[in-house]
Amino acid sequence: MSEYLAPLNDMRFVMRDLAGLDQVVSLPGNEEASADVVDAILEEAAKFAGEVLSPLNRVGDTNGAKWKDKVVTTTPGFKEAYGQFVENGWNGLGCDPDFGGQGLPRLLSTAVSEMWKGANHAFSLCPMLTQGAIEALTIAGTDEQKNAYLPKLISGEWTGTMNLTEPSAGSDLAAVRSRAEPVGDGTFKVFGQKIFITYGEHDMTDNIVHLVLARTPNAPEGVKGISLFVVPKFVLKADGTPGERNDVYCVSIEHKLGIHGSPTAVLAFGDNGGAIGTLVGEENRGLEYMFIMMNAARFNVGLEGLGDAERAYQRAATYARERIQGTELGVRGGPKVPIIKHPDVRRMLLSMRSRIEAMRALAYVTAAAQDNAHDNPDQAARQRGQAFADLMIPVVKGWSTESAIDIASLGVQVHGGMGFIEETGAAQHLRDARITTIYEGTTAIQANDLIGRKIAREQGATAKAVIAQMRADLLGLEGELAVVGARQKAAIEALEKAVDWLVATYSADVKAASAGAVPFLHLFGIVAGGWQMGRAAVIAHQKKAAGDGDPFWAAKLTTARFYADHFLTQAPGLAETVIDGAAGTLEMAEDSF
């Protein structure tokens, strides 16, 4: 069974030529990220992903985490791999140097994160949730909380979790009923049950830091009455080391379709007198703080879709080169050939690869925007970066993960009947990818956020600015690239038409607008991905014209043309669905379903 190989050539190209690595590393605070440092980090991450994490991916699927008597034992090898992960400093790559992080750009940590997710999705979830806890405490924690928790979380010696969901409160967080009772000195006792808690219990570290949504005694109803608390598995002693066991226990873990190596815990708080916790930030502002974690997590889940898709493609391409079956079309009496010679197999592989390249480019460009939002000394540039990132994060999350499911499914199809057999490994990628469109907000939640908070609320200002930049970048798509340019031009027009309709319709008929929200998200993702593929095609064309014979450039031109012909052509139809699709969606009587 083949192992994961980080696609370093494409990663470097996207970082350098599309996401603007040189500009990002010139920002204040990024001086350490020289070209040599960036390249060394990518090379070492690729080795760790391929040699340590990837071999454990199948093991995690077949021999997942186990629960017994409130204790979770992770997959054999995971604990040792996590120890190496921490020892090598991978957890703190993009974190605050004041608390032990390396402070490297988000663009670089995004590429490294993609490797973890592609090599071993289940393993990668643990550091991903820890990063969310780090961000929330960095922004909203007290100095005491930061000093107590951030150094250990950033190093990875401790891990973090996000506790939102309850048995009666899924996406509707207004229904949260966990409670927190003050006991003096800023301390609370937390009571309640949380479900779907990723790595809520495990044996890889000596403490787990839970960030928990709960209500204080006088909290108002609804989302305005939710507060955020930090509740460690072991209460800290005066010297900051883990002390007495806190009253939070794992009462079971879920039996899931995929990501078996990642324990998804049911946690009970306060069954034996109350779990000790402290308030994060101000009372009743917990949901606001939790969204700090959620926004980071949503972007990272988009990277999970990218990683799963890349791994599925690599496995399918390897199989297609090795599997001998049938003769080549048009060759009478010819020998049996690898199935990669067959036109439809090539179509499936290019359908996978071209979208992966588009997804990667859009994610990395969004990461660079986050770097500018955080570090650019120019206020206007910071605002533009933040606006672009805010707009694109639901697209990166929703479109990338939905695409990943289809890409992983195509990976099974390339394998034919063997893809349905677990031993080939193709099915695992489909099962693992399936959760990505659900957690940290379903695709519909991402789409509703996109059309409501990110487009309608500001009358489409940022979306229209992005569309204007897409049009400006069409100028290079001429001559041999004219077909790609024409496809992109038509797709941009379709996106603009849909944006204008949403801006005009949302406040007057929110149901009609929302009925087309997910098709609109797909439309935006396809067009934004095509925009990046067009930019890549221009660069590849220039390289070839200058005499650069690297086959990478010819392949990039091929994937850009394929993407334009097979995906950008879907944009006008999706725009019509957004604009006219509400009638069929909303008119059916409920008792007719």
Which pLDDT tens digit goes with each residue over 540-566?
Answer: 999 999 999 999 999 999 999 999 999
The answer on 206 and 83 residing in a single domain is: no
Domain boundary among 266, 284, 302: 284
Q: Is residue 13 part of a domain?
A: yes
| Residue 294, pLDDT score | 82
Task: State the catalytic residue, choosing from 440, 458, 478, 496.
Answer: 440
* Angle formed by the axes of helices 121-140 and 78-87, nearest 10°: 50
Number of domains in the chain: 3
The answer on 92 and 22 residing in a single domain is: yes
pLDDT higher than 70, residue 112? yes
> Per residue in 380-417, pLDDT tens?
999 999 999 999 999 999 999 999 999 999 999 999 99
The answer on 456 and 541 residing in a single domain is: yes
The answer on 131 and 194 residing in a single domain is: no
DSSP state of 17: I
Which tokens hold the place of 329? 């079309």
pLDDT higher than 80, residue 175? no
Q: What is the mean pLDDT of residues 161-173?
A: 81
Give the CA distances from residue 126 to residues 106, 107, 209, 402, in Å, rounded to whole numbers and listed in that order: 18, 20, 12, 22
User: Catalytic site residue 440?
Assistant: yes
E-strand ranges in 298-424 read: 324-327, 336-338
| Residue 315, pLDDT score | 98
* Angle formed by the axes of helices 571-580 and 482-505, nearest 10°: 10
Amino acid at 445: I
E-strand ranges in 281-437 read: 324-327, 336-338
Domain boundary among 284, 315, 331: 284
The answer on 131 and 167 residing in a single domain is: no
Q: What angle do CA 542, 546, 547 make, to 5 degrees?
A: 125
Q: Is residue 367 part of a domain?
A: no
Determine which of 41-45, 135-139, 230-234, 375-379 has the lowest per-residue pLDDT on average.
Answer: 135-139
Q: Is residue 315 part of a domain?
A: no
Domain encompassing residue 150: 8-155
User: Taking the model in full, what pTM does it have?
Assistant: 0.96
Confidence of residue 186 (pLDDT cuts 50, 70, 90): confident
Q: What is the mean pLDDT of residues 164-189?
A: 85
The answer on 146 and 15 residing in a single domain is: yes
CB atoms within 10 A of CB 22: 11
> Per residue in 491-535, pLDDT tens?
999 999 999 999 999 999 999 999 999 999 999 999 999 999 999
Q: Is residue 110 part of a domain?
A: yes
| Residue 485, pLDDT score | 97
The answer on 559 and 493 residing in a single domain is: yes
The answer on 190 and 102 residing in a single domain is: no
Confidence of residue 359 (pLDDT cuts 50, 70, 90): very high
Domain boundary among 155, 188, 220: 155
The answer on 148 and 184 residing in a single domain is: no
> Per residue in 418-433, pLDDT tens?
999 999 999 999 999 9
> What is the domain-level CATH number for residue 53?
1.10.540.10
Confidence of residue 209 (pLDDT cuts 50, 70, 90): very high
Q: Is residue 525 part of a domain?
A: yes
The answer on 120 and 200 residing in a single domain is: no
Q: Is residue 250 part of a domain?
A: yes
| Residue 284, pLDDT score | 94
Confidence of residue 435 (pLDDT cuts 50, 70, 90): very high
> What is the domain-level CATH number for residue 249?
2.40.110.20
Beta-bridged to residue 169, according to DSSP, are: 166
Q: Is residue 427 part of a domain?
A: no
pLDDT mean across residues, the chain = 96
The answer on 211 and 121 residing in a single domain is: no
| Residue 295, pLDDT score | 82
Q: Is residue 166 part of a domain?
A: yes
Phi, psi of 222 (to 5 degrees): 80, -170
> Per residue in 450-488, pLDDT tens?
999 999 999 999 999 999 999 999 988 999 999 999 999
Strands 208-214 and 159-163: parallel
> Per residue in 35-87, pLDDT tens?
999 999 999 999 999 999 999 999 999 999 999 999 999 999 999 999 999 99
> Per residue in 264-306, pLDDT tens?
999 999 999 999 999 999 999 998 888 877 888 899 999 999 9
Give the CA distances from residue 581 to residues 103, 463, 499, 578, 590, in Å, rounded to whole numbers and listed in that order: 46, 22, 15, 6, 18
pLDDT higher than 70, residue 536? yes
The answer on 511 and 450 residing in a single domain is: yes
Q: What is the mean pLDDT of residues 138-160?
A: 96
| Residue 170, pLDDT score | 62
